[in-house]
Chain A
Amino acid sequence: MKSIKIKADNLNVHYGEKQALFDVSMYMEEKQVTALIGPSGCGKSTFIRCLNRMNDVIDICKVQGKIEIDGNDIYAPDMQVEQLRERVGMVFQKPNPFPKSIFENVAYGPRIHGIAEHKSDLEEIVVTSLKKAALFDEVKDRLSDSGTSLSGGQQQRLCIARAISVNPDIILMDEPCSALDPIATARIEELMGDLKTEYTIIIVTHSMQQAARVSSRTGFFHLGKLVEVDKTETIFSNPSDQRTQDYITGRFG
């Protein structure tokens, strides 16, 4: 068994009066892809946004319970949220490159965290990150072009390069392919296969095929509850819960 990277214990999340997550407990293994599936509004996005405390941005959101990364409670009072997010990168549903050049997009994280001492270090980080995100060959001649001038799939890979530029342990992906066409999607999935050798990846996806293709473990969320989490093959071939069975056979959702 692989070592455990992230552990969530009895996680409850409220948006104001409304409860979005009920007693979610699960773990995620290091350097593996964990997929979270479930119908819209089931709480899977809420869950991964707890892992880098992105929910802090929303005033009315209240998180109870415990999340440990490498055994450290990330909701502990002395946890620096900026440092947490340096270690836990995130890629969003819609590609959101900054309206800056391709180079500056990737250099953003290293700059704010003071990672690169010299300009040459920064350049090296940018090139490495772009290479890891399988984007370098396509943009190497136009690093000063605006990041928003790229195609949707390229933009998403740019966002991945941006996320890995600060060398995180974990990458959270919130439906990273839902705005992309099948070819761009295939490229991102291929990329995930490469990235998991170095990073722990958590991916939220609507596509069950995608979960089956990329992940080693899969969790199924329904109505704010984690219904079932197990090896991906088990979830898709022999789920133990009737609701999972219904969902993966397309009876609802």
Chain B
Amino acid sequence: MGFILISLIILIGITSYFLGNLRAKNLRTSNQKNLKSLSHYYGYYVALWAVVPALLILLMITSFKSFFIEQYVLSDFIALGSYTETELSLLFTQIENTAMGIKLFDENTILIDGAVNKLNYINKTSENLTYVTVLGLSGLLVLYSIFNINHKLNSRKIVEKFLLVLYFTCSLVAIMTTVGIIFSLLYETLRFFSQVPITDFLFGLNWSPQRVFVREAGDLDTRDLANAFGAVPLFAGTFLIALIAMCVSVPVGLLTAIYMSEYASPKVRDWAKPIIEILAGIPTVVYGFFAALTVAPLVRDIGQGAGLTVSSESALAAGFVMGIMIIPFISSLSDDVIKSVPQSLREGSYAMGATKRETIVKVLLPAALPGIVGSFLLAVSRAIGETMIVVMAAGLNAKLTANPLDAATTITTQIVVILIGDQEFDSPKTQSAFALGLTLFVVTLALNFIALQVVKKYTERYD
């Protein structure tokens, strides 16, 4: 029904555009007086009146309809007063099923049959009513707006104003989503901290939320909770892996950028740059099994060859592959900023008798530094937020270690572990995921903020 109705509204909209346009043209020719706007703006004006309120009303009807229908259908049961809210909603589902011909239970048959009749009746009526209301409103407003067209009406202003509202609404969607996410994170996190003290979470050295799951809820005491949710091993693991990743990606990425911007001929650049950027487009899960199946065993074999104990899942393998993954973030961005250093600075340096290397090291890199640092920081936030590679290559074991050859785990990985499978949504275990998510969010936000500030503060203005 929704599809037909919306199609009809759009049809009315298109028709009314032509009507408005026609009306404006007629007014112009018959009165020999100029209208305030071009005639097609009057078309848009009428079309907006035809479509927008109708759609809004439709939206309202559809959001509230189900509630009223449920109330009406269940009125007999509600009158009995012996049902709880959950039971009522189950009952309603049963009625709906019966209406569709699926019979499950045989109790209360008379009441249910009555309700089914009611349901069929109300569905039919409400549908008709919706059609009449929406289309009627649309038609009335078309008539109103067409007769409203006169020499004093400036439809262009109204249309532009509407567009302004539209743009604003669209940007509001993104903003409200962000705000919504932050608040839901905050809410759940606060609930978590009401059970586990924030200091234990931030400074505790032991992360084993599974323990909470194993024990009966009644046996839990606060000591248990505190001991299970110390996030320091996760912070340390995240930091360790991100550090390894940066150790790989910073030198490789930066040198790539220098080669691409200063040494590569345009031909080489043309085919090499897209290939490097493909690295960023490879799904992280592919990197993940590359890390787990190729790099991790390799690291282990080499390590054992050198007489070291290496676990088969190591932070080094995950960090290394992650480093490869974020190379393009650094090389691409740095390449762009180095390239955008004005040619006049290069010439100035060459004219002083500097070699290419001196020019790059002493003039270009310092001039491009803010952008380069910005690219590093973006790469760090990418590394911190990365999940799949770590899940597959670094293990799930929350061990507090600084040894890159040991298994490690990160914040994101633990969120995955916590939320996989069945769980209650009000257990501290599940809520700890929100606390971790919020921590991660705060850290990446801070990094991005710093990156922006650095770029802004140290950017030289070239004109």
Which residues from chain A sit less than 8 Å from chain B, CB to CB? Answer: 52, 54, 57, 81-86, 89-90, 92, 94, 96-100, 108-109, 112-113, 146, 148, 159, 162-163, 166
Determine the residue in chain A with the shortest Cβ distance to B458.
A99
Within the complex, what minimum Cβ distance (angstroms) separates B369 from chain A? 9
User: Which residue in chain B gives the minimum CB-CB distance to A56?
Assistant: B350
Alpha-carbon distance A90/B344, docked complex (angstroms): 12
Provide the residues of chain A in CB contact with B348, threshold 8 Å. 92, 96-98, 159, 162
Residues of B within 8 A of A83 (CB): 353
If A99-B366, A148-B461 touch, whether A89 touches B349 (CB-CB below 8 Å) is no
- Mask for B330-359, Cβ within 8 A of A = 1, else 0? 000000000000101111111111110010
Minimal beta-carbon separation of A46 from chain B (angstroms): 14
- CB of B460 within 8 Å of the partner chain: yes
- Residues B344 and A89 in contact, CB atoms below 8 Å apart: no
Across the A-B interface, give the 4 residue pairs with the lowest CB-CB distance, nearest first.
A85-B353, A96-B344, A90-B351, A86-B353
State how many angstroms separate the Cβ of B337 from the closest Cβ of chain A: 13
Given that A94-B344, A96-B345, A98-B345 are known contacts, is A85 also in contact with B351, CB under 8 Å in the complex? yes
CB distance A100 to B366 under 8 Å? Answer: yes
Contact of A92 among B344, B354, B460, B461 (CB under 8 A): B344
Contact across chains for A112 and B346 when beta carbons are under 8 A apart: no
Known: A94-B344, A99-B366, A99-B460. A108 touches B350 (CB 8 A): no
Q: Are B363 and A89 in contact (CB under 8 A)?
A: no
Interface check B456, CB cutoff 8 A: no
Q: Can you list 28 residue pairs at the A/B interface with Cβ under 8 Å?
A: A52-B351, A54-B350, A57-B350, A82-B353, A82-B354, A82-B355, A84-B353, A85-B351, A85-B352, A86-B352, A86-B353, A90-B351, A92-B344, A92-B347, A94-B344, A96-B342, A96-B345, A98-B349, A98-B367, A99-B366, A99-B460, A108-B352, A112-B353, A146-B460, A148-B461, A162-B348, A163-B352, A166-B352
Chain B's nearest CB lies how many Å from the CB of A55? 11
**Nearest-neighbor residue (CB-CB) of B356 within chain A:** A57
A residues within 8 A CB of B460?
Answer: 99, 146, 148
B423-463 Cβ-contact flags toward A at 8 Å (1 or 0): 00000000000000000000000000000000000001100
User: Counting CB contacts under 8 A, is B65 at the interface?
Assistant: no
Interface set, chain B 46-96, CB cutoff 8 A to A: none
Contact partner of A54 (CB less than 8 A), chosen from B342, B347, B354, B366, is B347
Which residues of B have CB within 8 Å of A112? 352-355, 358, 362
State the CA gap A159–B366 with chains docked (Å). 18
Q: Tell me whether B353 and A113 are in contact (CB under 8 A).
A: yes
Known: A96-B342, A96-B344, A148-B461. A89 touches B351 (CB 8 A): yes
Contacts of A86 in B (CB 8 A): 352-353
Residue of B nearest to A81 (CB): B353
In-complex Cβ contact of B362 among A94, A108, A113, A159 (8 A)? A108
Say how far A154's CB is from chain B's closest CB, in angstroms.
16
Write the nearest CB–CB distance from A169 to chain B, whole angstroms.
Answer: 13
Cβ-closest chain A residue relative to B363: A98
- Given A112-B358, A163-B351, 10 other A-B residues pairs in contact with their CB atoms under 8 A: A57-B346, A82-B353, A89-B351, A92-B351, A96-B344, A96-B348, A97-B348, A98-B349, A109-B353, A112-B352
Residues of chain A with a CB closer than 8 A to B347's CB: 54, 57, 90, 92, 96
With a cutoff of 8 Å between Cβ atoms, the chain A residues found around residue B346 in the complex are: 57
A65 vs B300: C-alpha distance when bound (angstroms): 64
Enumerate chain B interface residues (CB-CB to A < 8 A): 342, 344-355, 358, 362-363, 366-367, 460-461
A159 to chain B: which residues have CB within 8 Å?
348
- Chain A residues whose CB sits within 8 angstroms of the CB of B349 once the complex forms: 98, 108
Tell me, in angstroms, the Cα distance from A109 to B77 when the chains sit together.
93
Cβ contacts under 8 Å, B344 to chain A? 92, 94, 96
Q: Which residues of B contact A108 (CB under 8 A)?
A: 349, 352, 354, 362
Chain B residues closer than 8 Å to A90, beta-carbon distance: 347, 351
Give Cα A85–Cα B350 distance, bound, in whole angstroms.
8
Complex CA gap A84/B366 in Å reads: 26
A198 CA to B438 CA, complexed, in Å: 68
Distance A81 CA – B347 CA, assembled complex (angstroms):
14
Chain A hits for B352, CB < 8 A: 85-86, 89, 108-109, 112, 162-163, 166
With both chains docked as a complex, state the minimum distance between the C-beta of B129 and any C-beta of chain A, in angstroms: 70
With CB as the reference atom, state the residue of chain B lying closest to A146.
B460
Name which residue of chain A comes closest to B348, CB basis.
Answer: A96
Give the residues in chain A near B367, CB-CB below 8 Å.
Answer: 98-99
Which residues from chain A contact B363 at a C-beta distance below 8 Å?
Answer: 98
User: Which chain B positions have C-beta within 8 A of A84?
Assistant: 353
Residues of B within 8 A of A99 (CB): 345, 366-367, 460
Residues of B within 8 A of A97 (CB): 348
CB-CB nearest in chain B for A83: B353
Closest to B344 in A: A96
A57: chain B residues at CB < 8 Å are 346-347, 350
CB distance from B47 to the nearest CB of A (A): 53
Bound complex: CA A82 to CA B461 (Å): 29
Residues of A within 8 A of B366 (CB): 98-100
Q: How far is the CB of A93 from chain B (nearest CB, A)?
A: 8
Q: Which residues of B contact A52 (CB under 8 A)?
A: 351
Q: In the complex, what's the smallest C-beta–C-beta distance from A122 to chain B, in angstroms? A: 15
Report the bound CA distance from A1 to B461 in whole Å.
Answer: 48
Question: Are A54 and B362 in contact (CB-based, < 8 A)?
Answer: no
Residues on B with beta carbons closer than 8 Å to the beta carbon of A109: 352-353
Q: What separation, in Å, do the CA atoms of A92 and B350 have in the docked complex?
A: 12
Instruction: Compute how far the CA of A86 lies from the CA of B347 in the bound complex, rounded to whole angstroms.
Output: 14
A84–B461 alpha-carbon span in the complex (Å): 32
Q: Of residues B346, B349, B350, which shows the largest number of chain A Cβ atoms within 10 Å of its Cβ?
A: B350
